[in-house]
Amino acid sequence: MNNALEKNSSAVRKRIEGHVFDDEEGEEYEGSEFNGFGDYFRRKKIKLQNLDADMRAASDKPPIFKGVVAHVNGYTQPPLQVLHRDIVQHGGGFLQYLDSKTMATHIITATLTPKKAIEFSRYRIVKPAWVVDSIKAGKLLPWSDYRVLGESPSQKVLKFDSDRGLTQSSPTARRGYKEQTENSFYTSQIKAEAQRNIATQLTEKSPLSNRWQNDRSGELLQSTEETRASAPDERYATGNAGDEELKDEPMDLEDQLVPLSTGPTDLSKIPPKNMTSEEHNAWLLSDPKIRKSSTANPDFLKQFYSESRLHHLSTWKANLKSSMQRLAAEKGLSNRKVKSRPGSRKYIMHVDFDSFFCTVSLKSHPEYLDKPSVVAHSTGAGSEIASCNYVARKYGVKNGMWMKRALELCPDLKVLPYDFPAYEEVSRQFYDAILGLGGIVQSVSVDEALVDATDVVFAAAESHGIGVEEGSIWREQQKVDEIALALRNKIKENTDCAVSVGIGANILQAKVALRKAKPDGQFQLRPEQVMEVIGDLKVEELPGVAYSIGGKLEELGVKLVKDLRDTPKDRLVTLLGPKTSDKLHDYARGIDRTEVGEQPPRKSVSAEVNWGIRFINQTEAEEFVYNLSKELEKRLVNEQVKGKHLTVKIMRRALDAPLDPVKHLGHGKCDSFNKSAAFGVATHDYEIIGKEAVSILRSFRFSPGDLRGIGVQMTKLEPIKLNPLAVEGSQRKIAFAPFVEPVPSKQQSRTELTDVPEERNGLPDNPITPQKFRVGQDDKKATAHINVSSTQFLLPSSPDPAVLAELPSDIRTRLMAQRPKTAATELQMETPKPRPQSPVLADFLSSQVDLEVFNALPDDMKAEVLALYGRNPTGPLPRGSPDRPEAARARKPATPTKPSGSRNTLDQISRRRDAQEGVIQTNFRKPVPIAEAQPEQIEELDPEFLAELPEDVRREVIADHRRRLLALQSGLEMPVLRNNQSGNPLPGGQKMIQFPMLPPVISFSGSITSTSEIKDMVDAWHAQTRKAGPHKRDVDVLERYLVKVIKEEMDLTKAVALIKWLGVVVDQDGVDSRGRRAWKLAVSGIKAAMQAAVEERGLAPLQI
């Protein structure tokens, strides 16, 4: 160990050993100065050493840790408090705060992160077991045997032994929390507690044991643990003979008690120690009764869901919606929500059974009507009470209470079995009576419903519900009471069970009124009573307010609803969020905006089991997942839906939980895990679901023996198509057009032209790709005879010049010949000039090259010209148009004419009339050879000018120039297109967004535009003129700059930041002088100018 460690730790040790504490009159107990954090911690450390000195002086334990200064880092077993106490009581020193690593002689920790392992590599880092084992041994053990940062396991180290001198030893590998847990402080306590619980459970007796032993001396009590072992207390029971008896007779505990000898044979039921989860499950399932009640039974799922109370309740409500819709359809009722008129009164009734399960079960046992009775699966101590009557509630028994606690409160408790057929029949009669009432019905549960009886009340009271007519409100309130009483009497007559009804103006008020109506009564919460009745409630009694929200509100001093009204809403938003705070704010004033109506569509379907899960190997777990997927498939089919999102829920036994929980075959304390997977196509196939669920289960790599609950849930539901001819599945398919044999395409254009938009009338969405033209291929359309003499050739008003240029020359000539000739416009033909060698060679050359000159050139120069324009003179040229008569190719004389020459007035009137009728005839004229075009008509493109243009602009200019040439060549007079379509089209029909140009960045004092640089200039400016004040011209310069930033640069953030910075600089100058007053006046003037600039832009004032 280095010298610094020895030196500093020795100084700390001497200071601790020499520390003396007499009383609390020292300076460390005096008050600290304001902002004196260092002095505060110095005093705190002295106080901690005072406590240690007092503890060390009062201890009578051997000082085995004398000379040790320890510090605990991180989580340890035993915890820091225990280690601190043990070290100090045994003569050692302890540091709560480690200012330097060399202050402590030993640092105690369970493990270190890789980074800390490097930082602490040269110090004494020991495990907590060093302290515990040293105390047990009564002496200080070598710390090297408990080092946390050992060398590599393969590297031997020298160890000094007082008996044998130097020896070699191989250090063990580092162990983490998992390896240290088995023999840790907490684990030993948990194991000891678990053994005590097992022994207590084996000898546990019923609360009636003393009375039973007095009546039957010499015999021992046996509780109903056998029933508990053969059936789940909460949700499951096997169909054995004992259970059949339970369905016929109520379970009186005295009648069910049978003697049981407790001797050495009972000890054989204690599981062996140090068993793994799988070994324990195998030992547990060796009992045939337990095996029948667990997942080892092949019919477990079927039996579980057929006798599970919670399963009935969860699926009952889902099936209830469809049942209600069917009953409503039979009675001709409508459950559609009717939008109420503003200001109209409402009457909502909340109808609920009184102790539904217990009341229905007591119909079979009327002799127990006046006795405390509950409904549960068995009388075992771990059985859960599903329902209790009001007689039992007087003893303190509640729904959901464990049977053991209930028997302690009421030893004469009568336990009744479930009777699901009777529950379903009573629930059906209940909703039948409610639907017969009319109005809008919303099912809450199997025994609870909300009814919007507003229309029924208005009809009975002959009122409109708006305004205050003579006695209208009184008549409505009287009628709603009569309707509620009639409903209660009808349900009592049909089911022989009592219901309670709460009446209010909304759902919240109806629920609050129901609490006052129970049991077997009705209560109407009138408008004048709302604030008083709701204000006296506790906040936890409001709907949707759980203990967590109630605890947060209690921290604000809010316990009652009336306290909630005095709490500012912004504090509620900060504490609970906007939605919850808005809801509570309305609830406190009796406002509930929820409407009674149809249930929202189902969002998920699931199948979950968290009882009886005991697996021995992974194969059993995966097989169970597949069986659970089959159950999920059945539920999806019943709901006529399928899903695209699968969620697997897994409950794993907690690491500190015993293998046998308190509840027989229950899940006990668990850690929950969820993982989801998405399907590309919605499905309800159990094989697909099961395969994905098993894959998720394997990804967790949990021990199968520790699994306590498994669930599969499907979301993102889609309806199953009921049409048998419909295509199964939700994957969309492309609707291809019917196959049509492709028609040979016309000859492709030699020049790449810009596409012009055209209307697609009658074209399929997915046309067949046209066949591309090949070099040397005959064009059938080019040589086909077309009768154009009798055709009018009416074309669209905006024809494409590229289309006319692609037409064969004879057709284009005949089209131009169709143009009516007048005396003013008739042109005489001259002898045609010689034809170029190639019919399409002009397309390969620039518009400024004379073809006659080109033809007169030698062949080598022709090759150079073609190479200059990117053409291969030796390659095959595209096929041209068929030959045409020389007369058709004759040119006119080079007469300077303008494209916009005069037209005949009658022709213009005729064209306007045709345009109104939707028919426009194209205006043709004689073609003008490109080589003879006048410079003022088509200007030459400058290559240098084109090179300076951006790529997209250059393409547009070239395409526009080429389009003008084609229009001139084809003889068609049309305006040049302005739209930018020269670029390549974006894939997928995308469109390019043209963003506006950014506003210019205004510079300040030259080329300075950065906000930080301007702030520096403002600082320097203020520092130089702090005493005399700023010059007016300088202030005007800054003012004009900030106004420009607002108006031209449009950067309000920058302007606000600069003026605020100037204000801070001026405010920090604490000296009240003439200069400071001048600066403040200047800042005010600049702010006023900025506000005026903002107002000119039509914006809100700046917060400056």
Active site residue ranges:
448
221/258 Cα distance (integer angstroms): 7
Reduce the DSSP state of residue 384 to 3 states and report it: strand
Tokens linked to 609: 């089991």
Given a contact cutoff of 8 angstroms between Cβ atoms, the answer to whether 502 and 516 are in contact is: yes
Question: Residue 129 — φ and ψ, nearest 5°?
Answer: -65, -25
Residue 891: CB atoms within 10 Å? 16
493 is in an annotated binding site: no
Look-up: residue for tokens 């009674």?
596
Q: Cβ of 392: how many Cβ atoms within 10 Å?
A: 26
User: To 10 degrees, what angle do helices 300-307 and 618-638 make?
Assistant: 50
Query: How far out from the chain centre does Cα 724 lie?
Result: 36
CA dihedral 329, 333, 335, 340 (to 10 degrees): 160
Residue 374 CA to residue 397 CA, distance in Å, equals: 9
Q: Beta-carbon neighbour count of residue 266 at 10 Å?
A: 12
Phi, psi angle pair for 424, to nearest 5°: -65, -40
Closest CA to 94 of 86, 84, 103, 102: 84
Q: Are β-strands 93-94 and 69-72 bridged in parallel, bridged antiparallel, or unpaired?
A: parallel
Q: Are 878 and 752 in contact (CB under 8 A)?
A: no
Tally DSSP H helices, then E strands, for the chain.
42, 18
Sign of CA dihedral 835, 837, 839, 842: negative
Please give the structure tokens belonging to residue 434: 């409610």
What single letter denotes the amino acid at residue 316? W
Widest Cα–Cα separation across the chain: 145
Distances (CA, A) of 995 to 411, 736, 916, 989: 82, 37, 38, 19
Cβ contacts of 212 within 8 Å, gap of 6 or more: 206, 221, 254, 257
Q: Specify whether the CB–CB gap between 105 and 124 falls below 8 A.
A: yes
Q: DSSP states of 44-108 as a string?
A: HHHHHHHHHHHHHHH--S--TTTT-EEEE-S--SS-HHHHHHHHHHTT-EE-SS-SSGGG-SEEE
Tokens 């980074």, residue located: 115
Quick one: how far is CA 672 from the chain centroid? Answer: 19
Q: Confirm or deny that 448 is annotated as ligand binding.
A: yes
- The total of other beta-carbon atoms located within 10 Å of residue 378's CB is 29
Judge whether 536 is annotated as a binding position.
Answer: no
Could you give the angle at the alpha carbon of 558 between the alpha carbons of 553 and 563, nearest 5°? 135
Beta strands in 578-700 (DSSP E): 604-609, 641-653, 670-683
CA pair distance 86, 238, nearest whole angstrom: 54
Residue 764 three-state SS: coil
Residue 825 · residue 835 · CB < 8 Å: no
Find out whether 666 and 234 touch, Cβ atoms under 8 Å: yes
CA atoms within 13 A on the CB side of 19: 27
Which of 168, 185, 175, 178 has its CA nearest to residue 148? 175
The residue among 423, 437, 424, 425 whose CA lies nearest residue 488 is: 437
Question: Are the CB atoms for 222 and 258 separated by under 8 Å?
Answer: yes
Provide the annotated binding site for Mg(2+): 352, 447-448
Annotated binding site: 352, 447-448
